[in-house]
Structure 1
């Protein structure tokens, strides 16, 4: 059996193998064998796509905090061993029977919240949820309840169907967005999760109004994308909150007007923000995933018309105790899923906006690493030294 080449320059057209999509591909992947252990670079076998599936040659993948939750065993419904990664971009290598929206050679971004186009949520123009997402059913295996990955004779689980920490992956067609062939895959991979989530939280979920005041808790890749969204929406005051002061320069570069370290304050941060703004901010965003900051973000917004958007993910099984009076006066507490975008419809448009320089998500990329250094990328994330690290295959 002939094995396809591992290395593919993104500007070189894909040559389809004469055997079509019936080959097993052997390639590298970062496997998490158990929670709490470093990733292991392994040779894995990637089965061909079945009907309705797409096999993708990944070119680049971002390291997101959600992947860290997975590695620490804090992601609900995940199973080990697993290939993590959910923020990537690549080129279609082969397609299964019945796939019509993409073809071999197309540039694509796999999406972590699918869009089946058939469920009640997909058919609702005001919804971006899909009943195929991991909140409704596990995505540890593909829809037929089997995996396309094996390693050392063992079956390896998928992560959110995507598993972008592999040179090749297989996903359902409705979890793939075709993008402009001019898009640089090592840059637009961020649009698969981090940037889209934060930017959309401001634009779509909160619907930030011109002249408003905003507070963003957490200045990682998602939080800084919220800053960019608030600026694009015309907010007049954007207050960035983080305990890592090294992130303040980047926050101000992206549009923050004020930066606050809660550890430097004599009062709870929600009181500080209320004092700064008079009656609280118009919009607050929690992009960390901690109970304390979620409550602080909610309390920091205007008691009547303020909107708090929850973006961060709590550990599985976590609960928040909340005095309901904090909502009685009119505050709104909302969640957001990948920024409110219908992903298959909107990712191509976001990529076009990127190419038209309507935003510059490149500013979020602080490190570019070869795939073999994936563990070093996670160490940078844990140490607070990176915003987004991008892995190149």
Structure 2
């Protein structure tokens, strides 16, 4: 419920992107009070996802505050907010859940018609921004913008969690880890004894591996050109690794079909490359092979595949946030973490202060990390 005194504009530090490919600049930003059905959050921890990295290079809307994997504490609430109070601990989610639209009621999809993917850098309610630098608007990203000490989000884009849960760990459930687990469990429905092939061994790919392992997959094959990402892959369930650089004379799909006796039961593209989606389809077995696309392509968005792949019974599925309905489902993942049924900590390879956010971007761009958690000033 709203407090007796109306929230005021807050001035704080944020990492602002002023142009494509440029380093983020620490700026003093004005953060407006939350409007109807919105909450203002003091960000505690946030992480860098490949989506942030690619958006900094290719997005056209600037200036902008990136960041969408985050945890924090509610500083104030807007009118009409009934499920949150000041002081509540929350995770942000880039796809919200309004609980009342056709999609939310259907039980068939997690892509809310009201709070789905944000593309214009503006708030869902009034198509305006809540950030400004010297009076000039600064745009949002993924409806979250967590690279700021304070941010404003729609209340449907936050999930309340226990104050006893470590916020600096759980921010990874805002996107990467949840997306991978859900792709294995909800979208593909990986079966016991199956063979799984995962293209891309970043946080999302290794979360798919963890999900497949917990479902009892017998072989979990990772495909990645970066040897650094293969070193600890077995910790998350990978049973063997293929480096495509070692098979330049043969298509990698041909290699996979050979070593799996006709193709994998499940393939996952966790890179965001439409050519790899085609390769994943070709790596599946006839009759029941399923390919799941998780990555967001940086370029060449159209997929090219021979129709006979589908006539032979192969299926291609898309996955956004692993098919989770955030408010309904994410609390169960938090509980699994607290019960040590799923692992999150091992994905965190670096912990850095907010001032080092550009260093974190460089580590991800160079393939030297899984997740860098950025810790905000207390």
TM-score normalized by the length of structure 2? 0.96
Deviation at 1:133, TM superposition (A): 4.1
Which string of whole-angstrom CA distances, capped at 9 and with x for unpartnered residues, describes residues 160-185 of structure 1? 11001111000111111101211100
Rounded Cα–Cα distance in structure 1 between residues aligned with 2:3 and 2:120: 34
Find the partner of 1:30 among 6, 15, 39.
15
Find the partner of 1:307 among 287, 290, 302.
290
Could you tell me whether the CA contact under 8 Å between 1:141 and 1:157 is conserved in 2? no
The equivalent residue for 1:366 is 349
- Structure 1 residues 136 and 161: CA distance shift in structure 2, 3 A: closer
Rounded Cα–Cα distance in structure 2 between residues aligned with 1:260 and 1:186: 33
Find the partner of 2:199 among 217, 227, 243.
217
Deviation at 1:246, TM superposition (A): 1.5
Deviates more, 1:237-246 or 1:322-331: 322-331
Rounded Cα–Cα distance in structure 2 between residues aligned with 1:105 and 1:333: 43
Could you tell me whether the CA contact under 8 Å between 1:179 and 1:347 is conserved in 2? no
SS of the residue 2:164 aligns to: coil
Which string of whole-angstrom CA distances, capped at 9 and with x for unpartnered residues, describes residues 27-82 of structure 1? 111111111111111110101111111000000001000001110124xxx62111
The equivalent residue for 1:289 is 272
Q: Is 1:57 the equivalent of 2:39?
A: no
Rounded Cα–Cα distance in structure 2 between residues aligned with 1:129 and 1:158: 19
Could you tell me whether the CA contact under 8 Å between 2:188 and 2:292 is conserved in 1? yes
The equivalent residue for 1:387 is 370
Could you tell me whether the CA contact under 8 Å between 2:118 and 2:142 is conserved in 1? no
Deviation at 1:268, TM superposition (A): 1.1
Could you tell me whether the CA contact under 8 Å between 2:117 and 2:142 is conserved in 1? no
Q: Is 1:234 the equivalent of 2:219?
A: no
Give the unaligned 5+ runs of structure 1.
1-15
The equivalent residue for 1:48 is 33
Could you tell me whether the CA contact under 8 Å between 1:180 and 1:352 is conserved in 2? no
- Structure 1 residues 136 and 303: CA distance shift in structure 2, 3 A: farther
Could you tell me whether the CA contact under 8 Å between 1:54 and 1:96 is conserved in 2? yes
Could you tell me whether the CA contact under 8 Å between 1:195 and 1:361 is conserved in 2? yes
Deviation at 1:134, TM superposition (A): 4.9
Could you tell me whether the CA contact under 8 Å between 2:61 and 2:121 is conserved in 1? no
The equivalent residue for 1:12 is none
- Structure 1 residues 316 and 112: CA distance shift in structure 2, 3 A: farther
Could you tell me whether the CA contact under 8 Å between 1:212 and 1:237 is conserved in 2? yes
Rounded Cα–Cα distance in structure 1 between residues aligned with 2:97 and 2:147: 22
SS of the residue 1:72 aligns to: helix
TM-score normalized by the length of structure 1? 0.92
Rounded Cα–Cα distance in structure 1 between residues aligned with 2:89 and 2:219: 38
The equivalent residue for 1:93 is 75
Could you tell me whether the CA contact under 8 Å between 2:209 and 2:237 is conserved in 1? yes
The equivalent residue for 1:11 is none
Q: Is 1:71 the equivalent of 2:56?
A: yes
Deviation at 1:316, TM superposition (A): 5.7
The equivalent residue for 1:148 is 130
Q: Is 1:341 the equivalent of 2:324?
A: yes
Rounded Cα–Cα distance in structure 2 between residues aligned with 1:222 and 1:297: 16
Deviation at 1:146, TM superposition (A): 1.2
Deviation at 1:22, TM superposition (A): 2.4
- Structure 1 residues 243 and 137: CA distance shift in structure 2, 3 A: closer
Deviation at 1:143, TM superposition (A): 1.9
Could you tell me whether the CA contact under 8 Å between 2:115 and 2:124 is conserved in 1? no
Q: Is 1:275 the equivalent of 2:223?
A: no
Q: Is 1:184 the equivalent of 2:166?
A: yes
Deviates more, 1:202-211 or 1:320-329: 320-329
SS of the residue 1:43 aligns to: strand
Deviation at 1:116, TM superposition (A): 1.0
Q: Is 1:354 the equivalent of 2:334?
A: no
Deviation at 1:17, TM superposition (A): 12
Count of residue pairs brought into register by the alignment: 375
